[in-house]
Structure 1
Amino acid sequence: MSASATVSGPRRRLSVGRTLAWTYLGGVVLVTLFPFYWILRTSFSNNYSLITHPSSLLPVDFTLGAFRRVLGIATSAESLAEGGSGASINILHFAMNSLIFATLSTVLVVFFSLLAAYAFARLQWPGRDLVFSVLLTALMVPGILTLLPNFVLIKDLGLLNTFGGLILPGALFSAFNIFFLRQFMLGLSSEIEEAALIDGASRLRVLFQITLPMTSGPVTTLSILGFIGAWNDYFWPLLVTSDDSVRPLTLALAVFKQSSPQAAPDWAGLMAATLVAALPMLVLFLAFGRRIVDSIGFSGLK
Structure 2
Amino acid sequence: MRTTSRPSVGRILAWVYLIAILLITIFPFYWILRTALSDNYALLANPSSILPVDFTWGPFRRVLGLATPEEALAEGGSGASIQLGRYIFNSVIYATLSTGLIVFFSTIAAYAFARLQWKGRELVFSLFLAALMVPGILTLLPNFVLVKELGLLNTFAGMILPYALFSAFNIFFLRQFMLGLSTETEEAALIDGAGRVRILFGITLPMTSGPIVTLSILGFIGMWNDYFWPLLVTSDESVQPLTLALAVFKQASPQSQPDWAGLMAATLVAAAPMLVLFMVFGKRIVNSIGFTGLK
Is the structural similarity TM-score above 0.5? yes
Q: 1:212 aligns with which of 198, 205, 212?
A: 205
Question: Which deviates the most, 278-287 or 80-89?
Answer: 80-89
Say whether the 8 Å CA contact 1:70–1:90 is kept in structure 2.
no
Structure 1 pair 32–178 and aligned structure 2 pair: CA distance change class (3 A): same
Structure 1 pair 196–243 and aligned structure 2 pair: CA distance change class (3 A): same
1:283 aligns with 2:269: no
1:246 aligns with 2:246: no
Say whether the 8 Å CA contact 1:165–1:240 is kept in structure 2.
yes
Instruction: Give the paired residue count.
Output: 295
1:80 aligns with 2:73: yes
1: CA distance, partners of 2:108 / 2:292:
23
- After TM superposition, the structure 1 = structure 2 runs for residues 231-242 of structure 1, keeping only pairs within 5 Å, are 231-242=224-235
2: CA distance, partners of 1:12 / 1:162:
66
Deviations 1:233-256 (A, max 9, x none): 111001100000000111111111
TM-score calculated relative to the size of structure 1: 0.95
Say whether the 8 Å CA contact 1:108–1:172 is kept in structure 2.
yes
Secondary structure in 1 aligned to 2:291? coil
- After TM superposition, the structure 1 = structure 2 runs for residues 242-281 of structure 1, keeping only pairs within 5 Å, are 242-281=235-274
- In structure 2, the gaps of 5 or more residues are none
1:199 aligns with 2:192: yes
Q: Which amino acid aligns with 2:148?
A: K
Q: Which amino acid aligns with 2:259?
A: D
Say whether the 8 Å CA contact 2:177–2:292 is kept in structure 1.
no
Q: Which amino acid aligns with 1:57?
A: I
Q: CA deviation at 1:100?
A: 0.3
TM-score calculated relative to the size of structure 2: 0.97
2: CA distance, partners of 1:61 / 1:136:
54
Deviations 1:182-204 (A, max 9, x none): 00000000100111111111111
Q: CA deviation at 1:296?
A: 1.2
Say whether the 8 Å CA contact 2:90–2:241 is kept in structure 1.
yes
Equivalent position of 1:118 in the other structure = 111
Say whether the 8 Å CA contact 2:211–2:292 is kept in structure 1.
no
Q: CA deviation at 1:12?
A: 4.9
Say whether the 8 Å CA contact 1:106–1:227 is kept in structure 2.
yes
Deviations 1:37-82 (A, max 9, x none): 0111111111111011111111111111111111101000000011
Q: Which amino acid aligns with 1:31?
A: I
Q: Which amino acid aligns with 2:47?
A: P
2: CA distance, partners of 1:284 / 1:301:
25
Deviations 1:85-117 (A, max 9, x none): 212221111011011000000000000000000
1:139 aligns with 2:132: yes
Q: Which amino acid aligns with 2:30?
A: Y
Q: CA deviation at 1:259?
A: 1.4
Equivalent position of 1:129 in the other structure = 122
Q: Which amino acid aligns with 2:104?
A: F
Structure 1 pair 113–299 and aligned structure 2 pair: CA distance change class (3 A): closer
1:16 aligns with 2:22: no
1: CA distance, partners of 2:234 / 2:127:
32
1:44 aligns with 2:37: yes
- After TM superposition, the structure 1 = structure 2 runs for residues 60-99 of structure 1, keeping only pairs within 5 Å, are 60-99=53-92
Structure 1 pair 12–148 and aligned structure 2 pair: CA distance change class (3 A): farther
2: CA distance, partners of 1:82 / 1:179:
51
Q: Which amino acid aligns with 1:219?
A: I
Question: Which deviates the most, 193-202 or 169-178?
Answer: 193-202
2: CA distance, partners of 1:223 / 1:75:
39
RMSD: 1.3
1:296 aligns with 2:289: yes
Deviations 1:241-285 (A, max 9, x none): 000000011111111111111111101111111001000000000
Q: CA deviation at 1:13?
A: 2.4
1: CA distance, partners of 2:33 / 2:21:
19
2: CA distance, partners of 1:41 / 1:301:
42
Say whether the 8 Å CA contact 1:109–1:170 is kept in structure 2.
yes
Q: 1:104 aligns with which of 97, 113, 129?
A: 97
1: CA distance, partners of 2:10 / 2:186:
52
- In structure 1, the gaps of 5 or more residues are none
Q: Percent identity?
A: 76
